[in-house]
Amino acid sequence: MVNKHQVAGYDAFAAFMKDFDGNGAPINVLFTGAKMENGQSWCVDCVEAAPFIERAVETAAPKDSHFIYVDVGDRPTWKDMNNPFRKDKNTHLSVIPTLIRWKNPQRLEGEQCTKTDLLELFFSEED
């Protein structure tokens, strides 16, 4: 079973990743907009991609891997060009949703996160 984790905000994300040890298993990170009271993200693209990503995590991600959901904040926080997720050399986000393999080149952004074939390839690639 994939090990799932959830963090909200840059400071919590940075602290979590600083101490996180995946024990050699792949670490996949999804950056998405914060959820509103209705349980859906304010980010329409994130809402559209969510079922595709969830299905790929269940069917294609290695069973010992880690999947970290990261809430990048509300719309004004995300749209701030000085948002630390945009500046961090490990994340360097320009669009959400973004799915990355931590400290590796694998990366899917925006509309790519709705493509089943790309998601399966992303999760099947070795580091």
| Cα–Cα distance measured from residue 29 to residue 61, given in angstroms and rounded to the nearest whole number | 12
Active site residues: 43, 46
Tokens of 111: 């509309």
The residue type at 25: A
- Indicate the angle between helix axes 44-59 and 116-124, nearest 10 degrees: 50
Instruction: State the sign of the Cα–Cα–Cα–Cα dihedral 105, 48, 124, 101.
Output: positive
Task: Give the three-state DSSP class for 29.
Answer: strand
Q: Which of 71, 86, 65 is nearest to 12 (CA)?
A: 71
Q: Name the one residue in this structure whose structure tokens are 């997720």.
A: 85
